[in-house]
Structure 1
Amino acid sequence: MPPTALADENSLITETTHDTSKNGLKQRPTETPIEAMSHGPVSLPGLPVFPDLKEKRKWVLEHLAGAFRIFARHGYTEGLSGHISVRDPINARAFWINPLGVHFAMLKVSDMLLLDMYTSEVLIAGKSGKPANATGFMIHSAIHRARPDVHAICHAHSPNARAWTAFGKPLEMINQDVCNVYRVQALYNSYGGIALNGEEGERIAESLGEKNKVAFLLNHGLLTVGGTVDEASYLFRLVERSCEVQLLVEAAVSKGGLEKRIIDDREASYNFATASEAESLYCEFQPEYELETMLSGGDFKR
């Protein structure tokens, strides 16, 4: 049954219409969403806290490099296209980004470049010896400047998202998972070619708005943002898969005889409030990150 009271994105989930008295379960009023999803005496560990900013930088870069490996494993590469950035915890004017022309599957922490988002100066050059992607700088710098809440940005030309952007439409709430982007999808439907000038980057940032987490770039690709690279990367993976599901549903409907059932706004809003907050989305990414660490022996952390 749907909830009796809806919580906003940052509030605690404390009330539902489910009667738990019969099974002896009782939700604590101070539970966070991730605690509510953890059954038993322990909860999944949430976002780590770093009193030392150098340690936080190391952690951020390891998760950035890990995200690239995961993108490679899922086939989100296309020639020189694609970039992920993350704000530097030490220098508030700068962000880390991948070098141009290095396959995602080969990227390591030591390859990343640190760029000043205002001057475009390369503050730390990666060991690959290759430059940053000019298009990547234009898009990422514009968004980082416009959205102080955004700490990470993912953009790639993944196949299903590219296909869906041809329609210039947001995803529909056709299943529980896609509710993680309920009412936080933006459409940039003024395709302006390869973003080699600042104006295109500024327009993309403007289309993203103040609160959206996802942007579909018409005839181009997908962009996601988050408070951590883990959140932004998980959302990218989720939306790419959701585009695939939507395309499958559209194909089935076009053949006739089937009707789509859309989750209503009340339930979609509840799902979003329950599952799509920063700590929950960080936790959603960790199984992939741990798998990548195991498969690679953690070599991307060097």
Structure 2
Amino acid sequence: MVDTMAMDKQQLIDRAKGQMQQHLTAGSWTLRERVALTCRILFAQGHDSGLAGQITARAEQPGAYYTQRLGLGFDEISAGNLLQVDADLEVLEGRGMPNPANRFHSWIYRARPDVQCIIHTHPVHVSALSMLGRPLRVAHMDACMLYDDVAFLAKWPGVPVGNSEGEIISAVLGSKRAALLAHHGLVVACGSVEEACMMAIQCERAAKLQLLAEAAGSIHELEPELAREAHDWILQGKRSQAGFAYYARRALRAEPGGDNHPLSMRVD
């Protein structure tokens, strides 16, 4: 019998990480299904803005990625109506056209071989911060997955359909997992669909908390060492997978069956 009451914090962290590797499970969804589920999850979390925003993931074919078809909202995306496009936004598979703003995704994928999924949305509270020209401030434990991992683009470059915007956004993102874009919204670039989805959810929640806190008083900063500890603790791959699976189950429970179901492979 292990006497955990005599263990120090690092020993307990390491023990818990081992247990999570053993006990936390991820869904068995395909890549297309995970992208479609991310669209539905983020719609439910307030990330929709009509036809604005893009969610992409590197496809199995080198140099290609999946994205939604322009003309469909996040709540209409299924595994079957996703497009596969190349870096020039030429459609390789599927019907219709991608959002031309996907061009800056191509720039990020080219600059960041580690990135497997990019999310760009205009959620209300992130957008409100972007209108104020304020960077995201991380000062709550739940948001520590974002600590020192969210860049800030202070000057809006205009509609992101040109190559210059792709260069600017990919440069400001650098090696970080997310960026708040002034007068615009959010971009997240992560090593998995699950991690990107969880980061996007938390960015919007953190922005909401920040606006509420700033309206009531002054935000107290976190101790950097503790914030970095929490960042690494929350951003474990197994935790991201388990969190994604929870939100996916919620999305699936809310969906009726049929061709518009997120897991439907019917091409329309």
1:45 to 6, 22, 25: 25
Matches within 5 A, 1:225-236: 225-236=189-200
Q: Answer yes or no: is 1:120 the counterpart of 2:85.
A: no
1:150 positional shift:
0.4
1:198 positional shift:
1.1
Q: 1:156, 1:222 within 8 Å by CA — same for their partners in 2?
A: yes
1:297 positional shift:
4.8
Q: 1:65, 1:107 within 8 Å by CA — same for their partners in 2?
A: yes
Task: Describe the shift of the 1:175–1:228 C-alpha distance in structure 2 as closer, same or farther (beyond 3 A).
Answer: same
Larger Rg: 1
Structure 1 residues without counterparts, runs of 5 or longer: 1-18, 49-57, 254-258
CA distance in 2 between counterparts of 1:225 and 1:279 reads: 18
What code does the residue aligned with 1:112 have?
Answer: L
1:112 positional shift:
0.6
CA distance in 2 between counterparts of 1:80 and 1:29 reads: 43
Q: CA RMSD, aligned part only? A: 2.5
CA distance in 1 between counterparts of 2:97 and 2:179 reads: 26
What code does the residue aligned with 1:125 have?
Answer: G
Q: Answer yes or no: is 1:77 the counterpart of 2:48.
A: yes
Q: 1:227, 1:278 within 8 Å by CA — same for their partners in 2?
A: no
1:164 corresponds in structure 2 to: 129
What code does the residue aligned with 1:189 have?
Answer: A
1:173 positional shift:
2.8
1:132 corresponds in structure 2 to: 98
CA distance in 2 between counterparts of 1:77 and 1:168 reads: 21
Q: Which has the higher helix share?
A: 2
Deviation string, structure 1 residues 154-198 (Cα, Å, up to 9, x no partner)? 111110000111243332232101110111111112211111211
1:271 corresponds in structure 2 to: 230
2:107 corresponds in structure 1 to: 142
2:244 corresponds in structure 1 to: 285
1:37 positional shift:
5.5
2:204 corresponds in structure 1 to: 240
CA distance in 1 between counterparts of 2:152 and 2:130 reads: 9
Task: Describe the shift of the 1:44–1:164 C-alpha distance in structure 2 as closer, same or farther (beyond 3 A).
Answer: same
Percent identity between the aligned chains? 28
Structure 2 residues without counterparts, runs of 5 or longer: none
Q: Which moved more, 1:152-161 or 1:269-278?
A: 269-278
1:105 to 75, 92, 103: 75
Q: 1:153, 1:224 within 8 Å by CA — same for their partners in 2?
A: yes
The alignment partner of 1:111 has SS state of: coil
Deviation string, structure 1 residues 109-136 (Cα, Å, up to 9, x no partner)? 111111111x33210024xxx311001x
CA distance in 1 between counterparts of 2:136 and 2:153 reads: 14
1:300 corresponds in structure 2 to: 262
The alignment partner of 1:301 has SS state of: coil
Q: 1:76, 1:159 within 8 Å by CA — same for their partners in 2?
A: yes
CA distance in 2 between counterparts of 1:150 and 1:280 reads: 18
Length-normalised TM-score, structure 1? 0.78
1:96 corresponds in structure 2 to: 66
CA distance in 2 between counterparts of 1:191 and 1:29 reads: 41
Following TM superposition, where does structure 1 have runs of at least 4 consecutive aligned residues deviating by more than 4 angstroms? Answer: 25-32
Matches within 5 A, 1:169-180: 169-180=134-145
Deviation string, structure 1 residues 59-82 (Cα, Å, up to 9, x no partner)? 111011011111222232222201
Matches within 5 A, 1:22-61: 27=11, 31=15, 33=17, 35-36=18-19, 43-45=23-25, 59-61=30-32
Count of aligned residue pairs for this structure pair: 258
1:62 corresponds in structure 2 to: 33
